[in-house]
Amino acid sequence: MRQVKVLGLLGTGVIGGGWAARALHLGIDVVAMDAKPQMESWIRGAVENARAALSRLTLAPLPPEGKLTFTTDLEVMARQVDFIQENIPEQIELKQRVLAQASRVAPADVVIASSTSGLLPSDLQRDMQAPERLLVAHPFNPVYLLPLVELVGGRATSAAALDAAARFYTEIGMHPLRVRREVPGHLTDRLQEALWREILHLVNDGVASTGELDDAIVYGPGLRWAGMGTNLIYHLAGGEAGMRHMLRQFGPCLKWPWTKLEAPELTEALIDRMVEGTQAQAKGRSIRELERLRDEYLLATQQVLKQFDLGAGATLRALEERLYERSGRSAVPGLDAASAGAGGPVRMLDTYVRPEWIDYNGHMSDSRYLQVFGDATDALFRWAGVDDAYRKTGRAMYTLESHVQHVAEAKALEPISVATQVVELDAKRVRLHHSLHRRRDEAVIATGTQLYIHVDTRGGHAAPFEPSVHERLEGLRGAHAASPS
């Protein structure tokens, strides 16, 4: 199966648009195909709308944004992509026909994944060529912010296709959840539908409004679910004896039962109640406004969960770690050469001025200078051995001082690079000098000097470098001193 550089989208509605935004943001090119030509402007708008939230997901160094192209010709798309994500309407015959058509054009090592909310992969792969590369990869709206993707194989699906898909989704910051066996509705939609059936009953029976039922989740269970899910939270509800006591205490309720299995009849009166209820909750806010609000708190929630390394926060943390590592890797040959005596500042970072970094003067904002210098520092420290594993042992580098001198303008989309030297080093401290260059003519845009201290984070005090780290930094310092910038 292929390394995914170009993602093909089959259907570019709500879900296709979300896939496009996520993939482009993480440096994957996208060829989007939809039967309706007017969907081109729609998908471009959807990618633009997602940018506001995505640009604040992480400060880690991102690869250059991917390129988006659009076509109404399925074969043009299927011929040039490494992976296809199908997002056309939830109709089995339509999906079977279109997936079969795509499979006749896309080479057999191109994985084809369906976003279907509940159809079975064995049914979808029925008429396909090389059906072993078909799987269900069910995402959640908004795809660009929610990391969950359920992976389900059908009877013909190969382990290689599932593995390749899991690798790709992990690469674009997602949490692939492998479903052991295909069942209608997969896992999450089964759970969501059970809750939704109860909501419809309670509204139908006049027990509660839609707003009251949302309050019943938002002020309580919803907050708990984001970090621990239902089962682990119930384990806590049983006190010291955990789940066993919880089942003894509340198990009998399952026999009464509190809930209903069958959904109520969707009568016009029930539909009206649901619509009127949610309109009242919206309080005149448009869908766009509510989407922006949802995106804001989904972002903030993931940032908070990141501190606890829980759920979606753990996924975000792992993505950031990969982004820092990938960015740092490109500097390694230069650092190795310098420490071996080649000298001179080492090019630590190649990036470009992202549009969201621009201030009201049309220039890169002040805080972004520190960000790119910080990314260069991170790459250098990683090479010296101060990486995630090292930090987990209770040692880290803290910043003591930063001085930035601005020399020229950095405008939107301008390719830039940072070169770094070790200028001072003692047992606990290291001083770095950075210069930020415009790549087109190598002109210096800014310089920066930063002083860092090595810290024992558990003890909360400065501590000497690990000898191997000091040795690597000393190698660079010596080489840089011999060859001034």
Ligand X SMILES: NC(=O)c1ccc[n+]([C@@H]2O[C@H](COP(=O)([O-])OP(=O)(O)OC[C@H]3O[C@@H](n4cnc5c(N)ncnc54)[C@H](O)[C@@H]3O)[C@@H](O)[C@H]2O)c1
Binding string, residues 116-135; x marks residues near ligand X by CB under 6 A: xx------------------
The neighbour count for residue 221, using CB atoms within 10 Å, is 12
Helix axes 242-250, 221-237, angle to 10 degrees: 100
Start-to-end C-alpha separation, the chain? 46
Residue 141 lies near ligand X (rule: CB under 6 A):
yes
CA-based nearest residue to 91, from 118, 65, 113: 118
**Residues 255-287 as b or e (16 or more Cβ within 10 Å = b):** eeeeeeeeeeeeeeebeebbeebeeeeeeeeee
For the bound state, the minimum distance from the C-beta of residue 389 to ligand X, rounded and expressed in Å, comes to: 36
- Give residues with Cβ within 8 angstroms of 75, minimum separation 6: 101, 105
Options 30-38, 166-174, 205-213, 350-358: segment touching ligand X (CB under 6 A): 30-38
Options 62-70, 88-96, 176-184, 237-245: segment touching ligand X (CB under 6 A): 88-96
Residue 61 lies near ligand X (rule: CB under 6 A):
no
- Give residues with Cβ within 8 angstroms of 385, minimum separation 6: 466, 468, 469, 472
Report d(CA 69, CA 9) in Å as an integer. Answer: 10
For the bound state, the minimum distance from the C-beta of residue 87 to ligand X, rounded and expressed in Å, comes to: 4
Binding string, residues 397-436; x marks residues near ligand X by CB under 6 A: ----------------------------------------
For the bound state, the minimum distance from the C-beta of residue 419 to ligand X, rounded and expressed in Å, comes to: 45
Residue 267 lies near ligand X (rule: CB under 6 A):
no
For the bound state, the minimum distance from the C-beta of residue 140 to ligand X, rounded and expressed in Å, comes to: 6
Options 34-42, 149-157, 261-269, 449-457: segment touching ligand X (CB under 6 A): 34-42
Residue 11 lies near ligand X (rule: CB under 6 A):
yes
Q: How many CA atoms lie within 13 A of 238 on its CB side?
A: 17
In the bound state with ligand X, the residue whose beta carbon lies nearer, of 14 and 59, is 14
Residue 98 lies near ligand X (rule: CB under 6 A):
yes
Residue 113 lies near ligand X (rule: CB under 6 A):
no
Among 1, 4, 34, 319, interactor with ligand X by CB under 6 A: 34
In the bound state with ligand X, the residue whose beta carbon lies nearer, of 88 and 384, is 88
Alpha helices (H) in 219-286, listed in sequence order: 221-237, 242-250, 268-282
DSSP string computed for 296-317: HHHHHHHHHHHHHT-HHHHHHH
Residue 139 lies near ligand X (rule: CB under 6 A):
yes
**# binding residues, ligand X (CB under 6 A):** 23
CB 437 within 8 A of CB 418: yes
Residue 167 lies near ligand X (rule: CB under 6 A):
no
CB 83 within 8 A of CB 7: yes
- Contact residues: ligand X, CB under 6 A: 10-16, 33-36, 39, 87-90, 98, 115-117, 138-139, 141
